[in-house]
Amino acid sequence: MMQESGAEATSNGPASQNGAASLEGGSREGRHKSNTPLVEMSAAELLHLQQQQAVQVARQILLHQQPQSQSHQLQPQQNTGRKSPTATEKQQSLQVPVSVAMMTPQVITPQQMQQILQQQVLSPQQLQVLLQQQQTLMLQQQQLQEFYKKQQEQLHLQLLQQQHAGSKQGKEVSAQQLAFQQQLLQVQQVQQQHLLHLQRQGLLTIQPGQTGLPLHSLTQGMIPAELQQLWKEVTNAHVKEEHHNSSNNHSNSNNGHRGLDLSSPTTPKNPLVNQQSSTNGQYMSHKREGSTLEEPSPHCHPLYGHGVCKWPGCEAVFEDFQSFLKHLNNEHALDDRSTAQCRVQMQVVQQLELQLAKDKERLQAMMTHLHVKSTEPKATPQPLNLVSNVTLSKSAPEASPPLSLPRTPTTPTTPLTPMSQTHSVITANSLHSVGPIRRRYSEKYNMPISPDLSQNKEFYMNADVRPPFTYASLIRQAILESPEKQLTLNEIYNWFTRMFAYFRRNAATWKNAVRHNLSLHKCFVRVENVKGAVWTVDEIEFQKRRPQKISGSPALVKNIQTSLGYGSSLSAAFQASMAENNIPLYTTASIGSPTLNSLANAIREEMNGAMDHGNSNGSDSSPGRSPLPAMHHISVKEEPLDPDDHEGPLSLVTTANHSPDFDHHRDYDDDQGHDDML
């Protein structure tokens, strides 16, 4: 399994680079397209553009609000289909980010929602209230829609005027635009109020305290477009469901509305925020102002904000926090109703979490897919295909990008397994079924893994994925990472468990393997110490054991590296070699691209490793290692490749999160019980 992935990496090389390049390039181009022109744009055009954006924003808002009478619209692909008929295609195309377009929105099926809803316990009064709210909501939506249409018509007129009048009417246009923006703000405010209202009614389940964090974390790590889409996906179904229900409101007496309503409010809001942030920053402030989610409540009580009790279904107003507390204790004491509401809330949260998990998984799959096909950088912890590929397949570069399998033997060590196992990031244990799997990750290429490892550190730390390195490589890495370049067996164990989620299980197996490797390989030297024995690495020996051969014809993708900006730091020969071997250079933009330095180190490392040129320790540079093909003879002088150089800090940082202190307790030993990652 793993080998397969490893193998595929090789073949990916070129393709992946191309893919990455195209992708990145594409996005960049996209940006240019939208930016550069602006520079040369006339004032009128600029206004035009802004207005278009504004319209789009408004449309977005409304789209999320518009009642969808057809429940089958739950199909994500129909997103575009929901656009207002009046909207011009041009505008639409403009506003659909590429990243959004490629995503397949995931949806909570109506059935799912129904299930959830049916589990709710609502009192007749609550149902009543809900129904009323539904109706109110519908009205509001209709109003919004009408308003929007008017706006659009106005805009149309404006646009026409602009086209004819040109920049002469700049002032006028500006005024109009201002007016429009104000109107837009109004829409947004209505939206906000709507949200607020829903929130107070308990229809909006996403309480500040609950979503705040996730939301923020999400927003921080994602591209607006992605975020937006994510939210769309997460909430789309809800919205639709809501609308669907509201349209059938009268005939449909199920109390399921609640759940639907609950989620729906989030829809307009988030997209809005995103939209604005991506279209026109100036809206942001307004937006936020109105947002209750952002406002820190007086006493930071999640149930109290803006002088209002935020308990679902309650909107009591209070002058001060004390009275609120009093109210909270009296009105929302532990009773059936509160319990039921609480359950509802829990369900909603669960659902959202589920949804989030699914989306994460999908994201992973997508990225993996892109990775495989194009080595696209991943944004999440996921193995990056850096240098590991150094392997060199001797034959011609396989053009097949796709996850081809284990074919090319020599391939890489790259982090394989991505695909199938990526979701492990989410559900760590899910994949582990298998017992002993014999794979040969890096096989003979027990090349230094530090670069790769450092890049994918986070991934391996969290994902229950077997690292594509041999035990020997890992052990060496562990030792080299230590300050003293020596570790006791136990420390090595700890390193394994700390660095790899995978090694937090089946301890008996891999520990045995570690010991076996330590004893077996001459490169590991046991040194008696005061406190016992420690293991060190004999780099010469280590390098000895890697067969290598680099061959092929340089030629291809050399430009890839250069295009990535690394070319300059690499020797031409090296580049050629890399290219030839389909080694995707750091195409990992998202994860935080390595510094040139670390990159250089990594590359040097890899090259040394790949070329069987062990001299890691400057001093002990190996005399006559296996000769390299002339063309690949790169004089890369490497020093201990000690990871500390470039990944020391990184490891610290990343490690801090998950591994409390492995040196003190070996929590992960033997038992599976501690697989509580995530």
Residues contributing to the site for DNA (CB under 7 A): 3, 7, 393, 406, 408-410, 435-441, 443-444, 446, 469-472, 488-490, 493, 506, 509-510, 512-513, 515-521, 526, 532-533, 535, 545-547, 669
208 vs 199: CA distance, rounded Å: 10
Q: Which residue, 200 or 625, has its beta carbon nearer to DNA? A: 625
The amino acid occupying position 504 is R
CA 363 to chain centre: 7
CA 401 to chain centre: 23
The β-bridge partners of 525 are: 536
Q: What is the DSSP letter of 630?
A: G
Minimum CB distance to DNA, residue 318 (Å): 58
Contacts of 594 (CB under 8 A, 6+ apart): 451, 454, 455, 586, 588, 602, 646
Minimum CB distance to DNA, residue 395 (Å): 9
Minimum CB distance to DNA, residue 567 (Å): 28
Q: Which residue, 153 or 670, has its beta carbon nearer to DNA? A: 670
395 vs 389: CA distance, rounded Å: 14
Q: Which residue, 326 or 526, has its beta carbon nearer to DNA? A: 526
Q: Is the dihedral of CA 655, 658, 662, 668 positive or negative?
A: negative
Q: Which residue, 3 or 270, has its beta carbon nearer to DNA? A: 3
Buried b (16+ CB within 10 A) or exposed e, 269-308: bbbbbbbbbbbbeebeebbeebbbbeeebeeebebbbeeb
**Pairing of the two strands 308-309 and 524-529:** unpaired
103 vs 106: CA distance, rounded Å: 9
Q: Residue 523, exposed/middle/buried by CB under 10 A (0-12, 13-18, 19+)?
A: buried
Q: How many CB atoms lie within 10 A of CB 85?
A: 4
89 vs 337: CA distance, rounded Å: 49
Q: Residue 72, exposed/middle/buried by CB under 10 A (0-12, 13-18, 19+)?
A: exposed
Q: Which residue, 98 or 520, has its beta carbon nearer to DNA? A: 520
Q: What are the helix (H) ranges across 222-316?
A: 224-247, 257-263, 266-279, 281-290
Minimum CB distance to DNA, residue 472 (Å): 6
Q: Which residue, 186 or 529, has its beta carbon nearer to DNA? A: 529
Q: Which residue, 41 or 527, has its beta carbon nearer to DNA? A: 527
Q: Is the dihedral of CA 85, 88, 94, 98 positive or negative?
A: positive
Minimum CB distance to DNA, residue 105 (Å): 38
Minimum CB distance to DNA, residue 431 (Å): 14
Q: Which residue, 236 or 470, has its beta carbon nearer to DNA? A: 470
520 vs 24: CA distance, rounded Å: 45
CA 156 to chain centre: 38
Minimum CB distance to DNA, residue 495 (Å): 13
Q: Three-state SS for 531?
A: coil
Minimum CB distance to DNA, residue 5 (Å): 11
Q: Which residue, 491 or 644, has its beta carbon nearer to DNA? A: 491
Q: Which residue, 33 or 526, has its beta carbon nearer to DNA? A: 526
Q: Is the dihedral of CA 145, 147, 149, 151 positive or negative?
A: negative
Minimum CB distance to DNA, residue 620 (Å): 20
349 vs 205: CA distance, rounded Å: 8
Minimum CB distance to DNA, residue 501 (Å): 15
Minimum CB distance to DNA, residue 444 (Å): 4
Q: Which residue, 218 or 534, has its beta carbon nearer to DNA? A: 534
623 vs 611: CA distance, rounded Å: 14
Q: Which residue, 645 or 669, has its beta carbon nearer to DNA? A: 669
Q: How many CB atoms lie within 10 A of CB 140?
A: 17
Minimum CB distance to DNA, residue 669 (Å): 7
Minimum CB distance to DNA, residue 610 (Å): 13
